[in-house]
């Protein structure tokens, strides 16, 4: 019996961030969702586009992945409502949603928010590391805050039911978005800056502002954003516990950012066109970086319980908190 | 028409026709709507309201021709989708026949979308389901010219449906996207019809027997279409009706020909009403060389005329005067399209 089975197999793990761009070994890719289902996942959000992807790129990716789900013989299913996530769990299949890490596929056309939402994209990061029409990414030199277009975009996302995700976004832009948003916002995969200083991590003050919207902060399983590249259950536990100290157990979740083909990814990161997207001061080109795999999450659950976390809090962190936010945003 | 009016007062047919038209589901699956820089948008939006006023229940708007630019097509699609959704008191984005029927009950105009062509797919069949999810419900296989799937009706030779085209039709059928064969080459159309797999349509193709024109179709193709359970729509363009004659009497002559040839359950109307030819023709000719054959009357000095939406009530009355049953008329006005749509996409 896996550690997770003891904490409640019915709800399952919710992970709001799995990079699912068309990269790497197709066999590793196709095994990924199977591994997640086996590890006790109920829902995972797949990234189909980063900033830089065109409207056409994003549309083709959506077509490709909708076909993948359709051809999965019922193993995976698109979910755009929490009730559908729960139903999929009951039916023994993994629910899947789509996200964009960035908003450039939308360009400056707000009607595309509606169209992409209708196709299953119910979560978008505002910016991905660099500046775009909406605001600044977290690796920019300056952050002028949310633009006029960005404000309209957040309002449209609220109205249509698209989750506003502030990971990778500049801190001032993120703060502005939190003020504009009428719905809870999230950091799907952002670790505590106080634990490890990195441009991708966020200060407790920003995490608290997110929690104040009713939102949730997901821990990231990438070793680059952790102390000593320690992606063990112990390393993950330290991330969760630090966030919990800032915002309480009702506002922490999981967004592993797991790369199913790490060597392929590291090759992409080293391409010259990605030099500014992944700047040197972010240590993105260290070749020994580790990522916590989906199978580590049940061990994290066990570690939380060993540390004295209440059962109800463990379940909330593993998925319940995300479900609460999605329930509020998607309807 | 004044003579007809005088008679109608005495025989009561006008009143019966008017009542029948009011309760009919009037559908047009081919309303030209493409965005182009010089399009007079006021006239385009006015056309929709004219159609609603003329008793239309549902119109399908052309979002793109054989345009291989996914980005441009997506932008056009989302703009018009947003436009329909922004006026819920007047329009319904109708994705099912049940929604069309509901719109009729609520006194709103139901609107759907289609492509006149298949190039918006860029040979990526996964996009059929994506466009379908956003409201596209029919695609015609090729628009006048050759494309990846097959030939258009204006090519000098027609090499038939390609292997890609075969896979395309099968995926359309799986998704529930209506296969439209208007504008498609005869051999390509025949190849598609021979595939079977459900009702198919010619949304707007007149009989070549009545007027020889490459956009019109031989009886053999119309009959093969009817044999799938499908419907052939009459086009209101003067170049295809012949002699640029867009009188209701001439439209009725074309309708009656198909009714005699195919039976009333396989005939519909697809007016193809171009709301501003003065700007459309220069645009399409300058951006798509060879899309219209010079020898095919498109570029005659006289401007091509179109049957107007306002003539539809006259059509109803005219068919009644020919002795058509109410059931046959209801089918021709839109019931037959509804039957096919229900079978193909629900």
Predicted confidence (pLDDT) per residue in B328-340, tens digit: 999 999 999 999 9
pLDDT beyond 70 at B2 = no
* Parallel/antiparallel/unpaired status of strands A163-165 and A121-125: parallel
What pLDDT was estimated at residue B297? 64
Closest residue by Cα to residue A154 from A172, A173, A177: A177
**Per-residue model confidence as pLDDT tens digits over A41-67:** 999 999 999 999 999 999 999 999 999
CB atoms < 10 A from the CB of B86, how many? 10
CB of B168 within 8 Å of a chain A CB? The answer is no
Residue A58 confidence (pLDDT): 98
Q: What mean pLDDT is predicted for residues B261-265?
A: 98
> What value does the mean pLDDT take over residues A133-140?
97
Quickly state the pLDDT bin for B34 (edges 50, 70, 90).
confident
pLDDT > 90? residue A10: no
pTM score, two decimals? 0.91
The segment with the largest mean pLDDT, out of B2-6, B29-33, B136-140, is B136-140
Q: Which letter does DSSP use for residue B3 in this model? A: H
Give the tokens for residue A168. 């990778």
Q: What is the mean pLDDT of chain B?
A: 93
Mean pLDDT calculated for residue range A176-187: 98
Instruction: Give me Rg for the CA atoms of chain B.
Output: 19
Q: What pLDDT score was predicted for residue A67?
A: 97
**A67 contacts in chain B (CB < 8 Å):** 126, 129
Q: Which residues of B touch A70 (CB under 8 A)?
A: 129
CA distance B201 to B209: 19
Nearest CA in chain B to A106: B75
Average pLDDT over residues B276-289: 82
**Chain A neighbors of B134, CB-CB under 8 A:** 115, 118-119
Q: SS in 3 state form for B153-221?
A: CCCCCCCCCCHHHHHHHHHHHHHCCEEECCCECHHHHHHHHHHCCCCCEECCCCECCCCCCCCCECHHH
Percentages helix, strand, coil for chain A (3-state, rounded to 5) are 45, 15, 40
pLDDT at B9: 55
pLDDT, tens digit, for every residue of B90-143? 999 999 999 999 999 999 999 999 999 999 999 999 999 999 999 999 999 999
Contact A112 B74 (CB under 8 A): yes
Mean of the pLDDT values across residues B208-231?
97
d(CA B204, CA B201): 9
Q: Answer whether residue B206 shows pLDDT above 50.
A: yes
Q: Give the pLDDT band (50/70/90) at residue B321.
A: very high
- Residues A231-283 pLDDT 10s: 999 999 999 999 999 999 999 999 999 999 999 999 999 999 999 999 999 99
What pLDDT was estimated at residue A142? Answer: 96
Confidence of residue A1 (pLDDT cuts 50, 70, 90): very low
**pLDDT score recorded for residue B13:** 94
* First-last CA distance in chain A: 36
What is the number of CB-based contacts under 8 A between chain A and chain B?
Answer: 53
Residue A3 pLDDT > 80: no
pLDDT score for B296: 64
Assign A7 a pLDDT band (cuts: 50, 70, 90). Answer: very low
User: How many Cβ atoms from other residues are within 10 Å of residue B108's Cβ?
Assistant: 18
Q: What are the strands, taking DSSP E only, across chain A?
A: 13-19, 41-50, 76-78, 94-101, 121-125, 163-165, 186-187, 216-219, 252-254
Chain A contact for B74, CB < 8 A?
yes
- Residue B293's pLDDT band (boundaries 50, 70, 90)? confident
Mean pLDDT of all residues in B135-154: 96
- A163 touches A118 (CB < 8 A): no
- Nearest CB to A112: which of B78, B129, B133? B78
Interface test with A, best of B127, B168, B174 (most A CBs within 10 A): B127
Q: Say yes or no to pLDDT of B4 above 70.
A: no
Are the Cβ atoms of A115 and B124 closer than 8 angstroms?
A: no
Rounded to 5°, the CA angle A45-A119-A134 comes to 70
Distances (CA, A) of B129 to A180, B63, B121, B324: 35, 16, 10, 40
Chain A contact for B134, CB < 8 A?
yes
Q: Quick one: closest CA in A to B129, which residue?
A: A63
Per DSSP, helices labelled H in B54-125 are 70-85, 97-105
With a cut of 70, say whether residue A219 has pLDDT above it: yes
Region A28-42: mean pLDDT is: 96
- Token pair, residue B32, equals 């030209």
Q: Please tell me the predicted confidence (pLDDT) of residue B301.
A: 64
B134 with A64: Cβ contact below 8 A: no
What is the residue-averaged pLDDT of chain A? 95
Select from B67, B70, B124 the residue whose CB has the most chain A CBs within 10 Å, as the one to mutate to test that interface.
Answer: B70
């Amino acid at each position: 019996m896996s550690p997770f089975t003891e904490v409640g197999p019915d709800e399952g793990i919710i992970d709001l961030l799995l990079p699912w761009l068309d990269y790497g070994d197709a066999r590793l890719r196709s095994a990924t969702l199977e591994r997640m289902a086996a590890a006790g996942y109920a829902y995972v959000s797949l990234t189909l586009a980063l900033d830089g992807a065109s409207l056409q790129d994003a549309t083709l990716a959506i077509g490709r992945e909708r076909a993948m789900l359709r051809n999965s013989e019922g193993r995976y299913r698109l979910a755009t409502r929490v009730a559908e996530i729960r139903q999929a769990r009951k039916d023994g299949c993994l629910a899947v949603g789509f996200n964009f890490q960035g908003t450039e596929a939308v360009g400056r056309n707000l009607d595309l928010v509606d169209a992409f939402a209708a196709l299953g994209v119910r979560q978008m990061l505002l910016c991905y590391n660099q500046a775009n029409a909406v605001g600044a990414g977290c690796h920019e030199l300056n952050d002028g805050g949310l633009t006029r277009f960005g404000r309209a975009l957040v309002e449209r996302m609220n109205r249509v039911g698209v989750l506003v995700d502030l990971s990778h976004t500049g801190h001032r832009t993120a703060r502005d978005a939190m003020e504009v948003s009428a719905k809870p916002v999230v950091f799907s995969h952002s670790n505590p800056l106080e634990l490890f200083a990195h441009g991708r991590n966020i200060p407790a003050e920003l995490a608290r502002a997110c929690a104040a919207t009713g939102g949730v902060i997901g821990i990231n399983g990438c070793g680059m954003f952790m102390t000593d590249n320690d992606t063990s259950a112990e390393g993950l536990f330290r991330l969760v516990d630090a966030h919990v100290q800032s915002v309480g157990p009702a506002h922490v979740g999981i967004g592993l950012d797991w790369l199913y083909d790490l060597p392929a990814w590291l090759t992409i990161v080293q391409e010259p066109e990605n030099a500014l997207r992944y700047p040197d001061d972010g240590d993105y080109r260290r070749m020994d970086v580790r990522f916590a795999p989906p199978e580590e999450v049940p061990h994290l659950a066990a570690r939380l319980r060993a540390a004295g976390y209440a059962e109800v809090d463990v379940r909330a962190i593993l998925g319940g908190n995300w479900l609460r936010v999605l329930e509020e945003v998607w309807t | 028409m004044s003579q007809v009016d005088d008679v109608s007062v005495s025989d009561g047919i006008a009143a019966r026709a008017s009542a029948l038209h009011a309760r009919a589901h009037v559908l047009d699956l081919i309303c030209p709507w493409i965005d182009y820089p010089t399009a007079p948008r006021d006239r385009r939006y006015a056309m929709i309201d004219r159609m609603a006023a003329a008793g239309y229940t549902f119109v399908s708007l052309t979002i793109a021709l054989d345009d291989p630019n996914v980005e441009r097509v997506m932008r056009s699609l989302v703009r018009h989708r947003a436009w329909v959704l922004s006026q819920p008191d007047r329009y319904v984005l109708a994705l099912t026949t049940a929604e069309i029927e509901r719109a009729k009950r609520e006194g709103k105009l139901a609107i759907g979308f289609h492509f006149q062509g298949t190039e918006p797919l860029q040979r990526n069949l996964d996009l059929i389901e994506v466009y379908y999810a956003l409201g596209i419900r029919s695609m015609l296989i090729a628009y006048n010219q050759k494309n990846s799937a097959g030939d258009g009706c204006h090519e000098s030779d027609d090499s038939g449906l390609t292997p890609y085209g075969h896979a395309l039709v099968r995926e359309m059928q799986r998704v529930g996207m209506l296969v439209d064969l208007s504008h498609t080459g005869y051999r390509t159309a025949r190849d598609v019809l021979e595939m079977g797999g459900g009702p198919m349509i010619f949304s707007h193709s007149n009989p070549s027997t009545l007027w020889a024109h490459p956009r019109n179709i031989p009886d053999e193709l119309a009959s093969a279409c009817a044999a799938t359970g499908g419907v052939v729509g009459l086009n209101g363009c003067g170049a295809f009706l012949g002699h640029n004659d867009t009188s209701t009497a001439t439209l009725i002559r074309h309708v009656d020909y198909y009714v005699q040839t195919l039976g009333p359950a396989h005939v519909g109307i697809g007016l193809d009403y171009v709301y501003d030819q003065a700007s459309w023709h220069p645009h399409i000719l300058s951006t798509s060389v060879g899309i219209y054959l010079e020898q095919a009357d498109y570029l005659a000095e006289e401007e091509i005329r179109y049957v107007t939406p306002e003539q539809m009530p006259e059509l109803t009355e005219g068919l009644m005067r020919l002795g058509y049953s109410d059931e046959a008329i209801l089918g021709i006005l839109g019931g037959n399209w509804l039957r096919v749509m229900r079978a193909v996409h629900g």
